[in-house]
Amino acid sequence: MASIVAGTFHQATPNLSPVATKACQVTGNGALATRKVPPFLKSLFHTSRNKFLDVLVDALYKPDKERNIYYQENFSPVEEVGSWTPVQVIDGEIPQDFPAGTYIRNGPNPYLLDESILISPFGKLYCHWFEGDGMLHATRFDQGGKFITYKNKYVDTMAHKIEKNTKKTSFLRAVEGDSLAISASYLLNFLRFGKVNGPTCNTHVFKLAGKLYAVAEADIPHEIDLSSLNTLGTLDFSGKWKGPFTSHSKFDLEKQELVIFGFNAKSPYLQIGIVSKDGDLIQKTDLELDRACFIHEISITKNYTLIPDFPLTINMNRLLKGSGRLVEFENNSSSRIGVMPRYGDSKSVRWFEVEPGYSFHAVNAFEDSDEIVLHALFSKIPFFPTPNGVDRREWFARGITPTDPRNARDPQVDGALLANLREWRFNLDKGTVVERNLTSLETCGIEMPKINKKFTGRKNQFAYAQVVDVEASKVVGMPKYGKFMKVKLPESCEDEIDVKYHDLGANRYGSEPLFVARPHSTDEDDGWIVSYVHDEETNKSEVYIFDAQKFQDQAVARIGLPQRVPYGFHSDFFF
Ligand SMILES: [Fe+2]
């Protein structure tokens, strides 16, 4: 999923305290002068301060008997397998024209797992799925899949490096907990590590200017060596991009541009950038918004960028005053979508008020005659964060149970987490927007939408998504997806969608359905859906490949893997 890590401040790594770097002296004329402190004293101060902070954290935070369980069954972490491991097709065969390349999916996999609730003088801190260290699961194909290998590897972030060396948890949790406890986490994390929350890089992977990157919203992208999966360094466009970086950048194939963005708790709350195919940041725009919102995915068309401004707000004052949490969904606040020319600025954004709710993931957007069309997933409320004072499992179970709003005990809870595929049609000349759900009570509950990415920002016909298994998800309090869905999108505002399903069978659950195009194909859906699928009966995982045009047919190939692949987030295929 969308990786969604809260509290995205991004801070430069702090230098040593001024007290440590310089010693002050009063000169004869009363002025302050400074002299350099010998390096060994700096080092001594740094070490002593860090040891003191480590001892302080150990003294302040104690694990409770109660646990906040996310990492169970196939959500639980796995070890690295080591080197590339040859794997075999266990059913069917890899199509002759299946491209050579590497299928990589990212996801959270805590290096040191402790789901105990932490008790401190500042309140409780909860473990959250989104805070797990990023692990890449990679399956490499030669042409036609005659030789296939698998490897998994942690993204070697700063947090992962520290924990490997010390075998102790590094960053304090900072996603879910009492307000004061989250504030204390930010402060202590910043004092100890120079960042308010831990880098995870657990959400997505993308390629830019020939280089592969792993990314999550709370940090900058980490470069990954495609041949070894080793982490090489970070990307900040020569210091020009300060702050968080989206998990969902958009590459415009025709214009050879990557559109990026990042949201922040402090002003500017949202920055949008354009990167050339050579990896140069050629434009950066600060959106002068009056609130910080958790924006997981923007969309592009040939000439515009679409900005969802839904009320999952980030507010430091709320946190500092103890009146609420950093990230909260404001039920009664407005929702709007902005349409900005690709090279525009905050003054050129046209805002359209839309029905209140939340959209984590977009499907695609395009220009169609005099309209700009956006397809995205839309639910009444976001699944993050869990509201205060509720039993998370009960809240989640009610939220994912399809419920006619007319029969709901509480329409903001019952069925409110289930995402519909929604369409917005904006007319810039008339200043109007027409919106509707394309799915219904029977077809909602979808996530992780994918398209043939050649059509990003251009009119497309098909979208793919995974479909939640309500009953299986209720049991574990986490989303499991037992089917894939293919949607033929409407041609106009009068048309309906056409839906096909691919059922994985009993006790089998998938990851994001990645579309891999057949080489030299011209039809939009000419290719395969590729996903990591886990069989909970055998506790084994596989790479699962089926024909996107024969969507209901059985898999064309299933590849057995040497160990299970935990359920996770986003993926791509790299050539
Ligand atoms: Fe996402």
DSSP 54-70: HHHHHHH-EEEEEE---
- What spacing in Å lies between the alpha carbon of 284 and ligand 1's midpoint? 22
- Looking at residue 190, the DSSP 8-state letter turns out to be H
- What spacing in Å lies between the alpha carbon of 99 and ligand 1's midpoint? 25
Domain count, the chain: 1
- In this prediction, residue 2 carries a pLDDT of 34
Distance CA 225, CA 208 (A): 13
pLDDT per position as a tens digit, 485-520: 999 999 988 899 999 999 999 999 999 999 999 999
In a domain, 360, yes or no: yes
- What spacing in Å lies between the alpha carbon of 555 and ligand 1's midpoint? 26
CATH number reported for the structural domain that contains residue 119 in this entry: 2.130.10.10
- What spacing in Å lies between the alpha carbon of 2 and ligand 1's midpoint? 2
Q: Are 422 and 434 in contact (CB under 8 A)?
A: no
Provide the domain limits for residue 31.
Answer: 18-574
Distance CA 428, CA 338 (A): 11
Q: Are 204 and 106 in contact (CB under 8 A)?
A: yes
DSSP 361-420: -EEEEEEETTEEEEEEEEBSS-SSSPPTTS-HHHHHHHHTS---GGG-S-TTTTTTTPPE
Distance CA 419, CA 336 (A): 18
pLDDT per position as a tens digit, 389-425: 888 899 999 999 999 988 899 999 999 999 999 999 9
Q: Which residues contact 445 (CB under 8 A, 6 or more apart)?
A: 400, 402, 418, 419, 467, 468, 470
- In this prediction, residue 49 carries a pLDDT of 83
> pLDDT: is 573 or 145 the higher one?
573
**Prior bond to 268 cis, omega within 30?**
yes
- In this prediction, residue 24 carries a pLDDT of 39
Q: Which of 15, 32, 31, 14 is nearest to 23 (CA)?
A: 32
pLDDT per position as a tens digit, 81-133: 999 999 999 999 999 999 999 999 999 999 999 889 999 999 999 999 999 99
In a domain, 135, yes or no: yes
Q: Are 407 and 389 in contact (CB under 8 A)?
A: no
Sign of CA dihedral 66, 67, 68, 73: negative
In a domain, 2, yes or no: no
- What spacing in Å lies between the alpha carbon of 248 and ligand 1's midpoint? 7
- What spacing in Å lies between the alpha carbon of 500 and ligand 1's midpoint? 23
- What spacing in Å lies between the alpha carbon of 183 and ligand 1's midpoint? 26
Q: What is the mean pLDDT of residues 276-293?
A: 94
Q: Which of 14-23, 178-187, 214-223, 434-443 has the lowest mean pLDDT?
A: 14-23
> Which class for 104: exposed (0-12), middle (13-18), buried (19 or more C-beta within 10 A)?
buried
- What spacing in Å lies between the alpha carbon of 360 and ligand 1's midpoint? 7
In a domain, 5, yes or no: no
- What spacing in Å lies between the alpha carbon of 3 and ligand 1's midpoint? 5
Which residues, in sequence order, are bridge partners of residue 22? 36
**Angle formed by the axes of helices 39-60 and 179-193, nearest 10°:** 160
- What spacing in Å lies between the alpha carbon of 4 and ligand 1's midpoint? 7
- What spacing in Å lies between the alpha carbon of 19 and ligand 1's midpoint? 43
- What spacing in Å lies between the alpha carbon of 296 and ligand 1's midpoint? 6
- What spacing in Å lies between the alpha carbon of 447 and ligand 1's midpoint? 9
pLDDT per position as a tens digit, 464-489: 999 999 999 999 999 999 999 999 99
- Helix ranges (H only) for 202-355 are 316-320
- In this prediction, residue 42 carries a pLDDT of 74
- What spacing in Å lies between the alpha carbon of 391 and ligand 1's midpoint? 25
Of the pLDDT bands very low, low, confident and very high (cuts 50, 70, 90), residue 35 is low
- What spacing in Å lies between the alpha carbon of 466 and ligand 1's midpoint? 13
- In this prediction, residue 82 carries a pLDDT of 95
In a domain, 257, yes or no: yes
How large is the C-alpha radius of gyration of the chain?
A: 24
Distance CA 185, CA 283 (A): 34
- Helix ranges (H only) for 206-330 are 316-320
Q: Which of 19-28, 138-147, 269-278, 359-368 has the lowest mean pLDDT?
A: 19-28
Q: Name the residues around ion ligand 1, CB cutoff 5 A.
A: 2
Percentage, residues of the chain above pLDDT 70: 94
pTM above 0.85, yes or no: yes
